[in-house]
Structure 1
Amino acid sequence: MREKLRVAAYAVCVRDGQILLARSPAPDGTPEWVLPGGGMEHGEDPYDTVRREVTEETGYRIEVTGLLGVDSFRHLRGRRGPRSATDHHGVRIIYEGEVVGGELRNEIDGSTDLAAWQDLSAVPGLTRVRLVDIALRLWRERPAQGRVESV
């Protein structure tokens, strides 16, 4: 079985009761809302990753105002067996960010197709990835250990 590690950094940007989200197609093509952010490049600091990714996906420049926590998960991808399955381990670093410049725009030729502010009260009704809920819990609860139990 192959092992794959992916480290990524994401931002929770909230202002005036709204959260900044991006939309990305799920594997089946269904659009789902995600936090702006993404995978670290080799040698890149996660702090720089989150700022670069937010700009790429939304057009905004952010100031990182805090570290909210880390989420780690594992799952198997592909058929089971020594050569066809992948044990995927994702480590997601979640920061709080404040928009300090730029203009809202959609990503061009990237992993997302739309960036938008969504009312916090509307988030439960959105089709979204699990990380949005985890990040919002970290933002609201601010646990000292930087971790919340699975949602």
Structure 2
Amino acid sequence: MRQKLRVAAYAVCVRDGQILLARSPAPDGTPEWVLPGGGMEHGEDPYDTVRRELTEETGYQIEVTGLLGVDSSRRIFRRRGLRAPTDHHGVRIIYEGRVTGGELRNEIDGSTDLAAWQDLSAVPGLTRVRLIDVALRLWRERPAAGRVAGGADGAE
């Protein structure tokens, strides 16, 4: 089985009761809301990753104001045809950020197609990735260990 490790950095940006989110197609093509952020490039510091990715996906520049925590996810992706399944392990570093400049815009030719502020109260009704729920728990609870029980995998 093929193994793949992906390290990524994301930002929780909240202001005036709203969270900044981006929209991305799920593997089946259904649009779902995601946290702005993404994969680290080789040799890149995660602090720089989150700032670069957020600007690419939303048009905003941010100040990183804190480290909220780290989340880990592991899934087996089964492929069609002759390709072997992939054991995917994602490590997600979640920061808190504050918008300091730029203008909201959608990403062009990237992994997301829409950026928007969403009311925090509306998040439970959105089609979204589970990482948003984990990140909002980290943001609300501020656990000293930087981890919430039952993260994206549901594991303790």
The TM-score normalised by the length of structure 1 is 0.96
Matched length: 149
User: What does residue 108 of structure 2 align with?
Assistant: 108
Q: Which residue identity does 1:96 align to in structure 2?
A: E
The corresponding residue for 2:43 is 43
Deviation at 1:31, TM superposition (A): 0.5
Q: Give the CA deviation at 1:73.
A: 1.1
> RMSD over aligned Cα, in angstroms?
1.2
Taking every aligned residue pair, what percent have the same amino acid on both sides? 88
1:76 alignment partner in structure 2 = 76
Shift of 1:86: 1.1
Match in the other structure for 1:92: 92
Residue in 1 that maps onto 2:127: 127
Amino acid at match of 2:16: D
Q: Which runs of 5+ in 2 are unaligned?
A: none
- How far apart are the structure 1 equivalents of 2:27 and 2:87? 18
Q: Could you tell me how far 1:2 is from its partner in structure 2?
A: 1.1
Q: Distance in 2 between matches of 1:76 and 1:31?
A: 22
In the alignment, structure 1 segments of 5+ residues that lack a partner are: none
Post-superposition shift, 1:3? Answer: 0.8
Q: Following TM superposition, by how much is the alpha carbon of 1:30 offset from its aligned partner in structure 2, in angstroms?
A: 0.6
Give 1:10-29 correspondences, 5 Å limit.
Answer: 10-29=10-29
Question: How far 1:59 sits from its partner (Å)?
Answer: 0.1
Structure 1 residues 35-82: Cα deviation after superposition (integer angstroms, max 9, x where no partner): 000000000000000000000000000000000000001111115xxx
Q: Give the aligned partner of residue 59 of structure 2.
A: 59
